[in-house]
């Protein structure tokens, strides 16, 4: 691993949403244009602070996600920087038209926080586990999609979202996630994957809370003589084509890892670039086009093939197929 900024141990956990709340409070103190909108989602630390300090900058819409996105578009058109909050499945399922028509189409400066994104939400089951968010949203022009790997990176992407003039989607996982980065002083550039581990045999492109599983898989593989380079794809759109093509040329095999549907997800995006530019074996680790169910995070990882062991198995298959 890159020892300067990546932790050797991944035992410390913290939720992305807690880090998000800490970041948004700090940023709101610095920028009075930031406003918060919620749709039947707990506002936690940020909400308590805002109601006391900035009562005119927080809005609760109840179970009305589409209305919330439309209101956010109006606020952005008036010069505000609105952050919307709701369960990821309802942003994609109930407010997709508003995201497309009212926000992205007009390039409005709305930040859409997908709370409880991905498969690994341990309760509520398949009705609330959003597996299609990457596929659905990356097909919308003008919409940036950011997917942090841990709590530290969550703060970086929130700041980047505020600095970016235009619509941004932030994917935040629900459960406590291993902290990967030592602190916020690490190489971070919007649109460019961060190299976490060097290796010459295969490349792993991972996003979200499964980046930690990818690092664990790389350690397993190293003991078997396979050295994998691991990238944290914190920006799914725009996706840096040069990094992906260079990785294909360097290692000759690629594995993608995500907590969403591999159809149209990160795996699909990487495969498109590789197929068009420098074809090499690509294996996709993620949800294989099926709905979820209730269970612990570890149970879900095992049931849907999302653990470090499954990543390592996919790497071995990709390496075996190298010409």
3-state secondary structure 12-52: CEECHHHHHHHHHHHHHHHCCCEEEEECCCCCHHHHHHHHH
Q: Which residues are catalytic?
A: 65
Residue 314 has a pLDDT of 98
Q: What percentage of the chain reaches a pLDDT higher than 70? A: 99
Structure tokens at 215: 């690092």
Backbone dihedral angles phi then psi of residue 178, each to the nearest 5 degrees: -55, 135
Average pLDDT, the chain: 95
Burial (CB < 10 A; 0-12, 13-18, 19+), residue 59, is: middle
pLDDT in tens, 293-311: 999 999 999 999 999 999 9
Does the pLDDT at position 284 exceed 90?
yes
> In this predicted structure, what is the pLDDT of residue 44?
73
- Structure confidence at residue 231 as a pLDDT band (50, 70, 90): very high
Q: Which residues pair with 162 in a beta bridge?
A: none
Lowest mean pLDDT: which of 66-80, 101-115, 120-134?
Answer: 120-134
Q: Which tens digits make up the pLDDT trace of 44-55? A: 777 777 888 889
User: What pLDDT is recorded for position 323?
Assistant: 66
pLDDT tens digits for range 116-136: 899 898 877 888 889 999 999
Give which of 319, 315, 293 is closest to 304, Cα–Cα.
293
pLDDT of residue 1: 67
Task: Estimate the share of the chain in helix, then strand, then coil, as percent rounded to the nearest 5.
Answer: 40, 20, 35
Tokens representing 320?
């075996």
The ranges assigned to domains in the chain are: 13-178, 194-320
Hey, do 13-178 and 194-320 end up sharing a CATH topology, with the first three levels equal?
A: yes
Confidence at residue 121, expressed as pLDDT on a 0 to 100 scale:
84
Least confidently predicted of 87-101, 114-128, 168-182, 228-242: 114-128
How much is the pLDDT for 123?
77
CB contact burial 16-26 (16+ within 10 A = b; e otherwise): bbbbbbbbbbe
pLDDT surpasses 90 at 152: yes
pLDDT tens readout for residues 8-49: 899 999 999 999 999 999 999 999 999 999 998 777 777 777
**Cα maximum dimension of the chain:** 62
The CATH superfamily holding the domain 13-178 is Thiamin diphosphate (ThDP)-binding fold, Pyr/PP domains (3.40.50.970)
Which pLDDT belongs to residue 52? 84
Specify whether domain 194-320 bears CATH 1.10.246.90. no
């Amino acid at each position: 691993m890159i020892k300067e900024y990546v932790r050797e141990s991944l035992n410390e956990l913290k939720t992305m949403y807690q880090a998000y709340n800490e970041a948004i409070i700090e940023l709101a103190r610095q920028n009075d244009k930031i406003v918060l909108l919620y749709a039947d989602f707990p506002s936690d630390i940020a909400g308590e602070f805002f109601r006391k300090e900035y009562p005119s900058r927080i809005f609760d819409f109840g179970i009305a996600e589409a209305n919330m996105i439309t209101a956010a578009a109006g606020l952005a058109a008036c010069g505000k920087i609105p952050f919307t909050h709701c369960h990821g499945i309802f942003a994609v399922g109930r407010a997709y038209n508003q995201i497309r028509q009212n926000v992205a189409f007009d390039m409005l400066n709305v930040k859409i926080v997908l709370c409880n994104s991905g498969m690994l939400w341990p309760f509520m089951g398949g009705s609330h586990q959003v597996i299609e968010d990457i596929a659905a949203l990356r097909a919308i022009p003008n919409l940036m999609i950011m997917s942090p790997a841990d709590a530290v990176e969550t703060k970086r992407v929130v700041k980047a979202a505020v600095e970016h003039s235009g619509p941004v989607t932030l994917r935040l996982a629900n459960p406590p996630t291993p902290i990967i980065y030592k602190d916020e002083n690490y190489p971070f550039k919007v649109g460019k994957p961060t190299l976490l581990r060097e290796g010459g045999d295969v490349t792993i492109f991972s996003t979200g809370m499964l980046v930690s599983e990818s690092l664990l898989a790389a350690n397993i593989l190293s003991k078997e003589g396979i050295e994998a380079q691991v990238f944290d794809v914190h920006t799914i759109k725009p996706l840096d084509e040069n990094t992906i093509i260079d990785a294909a040329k360097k290692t000759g095999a690629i594995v993608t890892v995500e907590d969403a549907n591999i159809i149209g997800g990160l795996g699909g995006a990487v495969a498109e670039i590789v197929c068009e530019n420098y074809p090499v074996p690509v294996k996709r680790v993620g949800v294989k086009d099926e709905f979820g169910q209730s269970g612990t995070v570890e149970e879900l990882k095992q049931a849907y093939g999302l653990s470090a062991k499954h990543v390592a198995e996919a790497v071995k298959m990709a390496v075996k197929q190298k010409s």
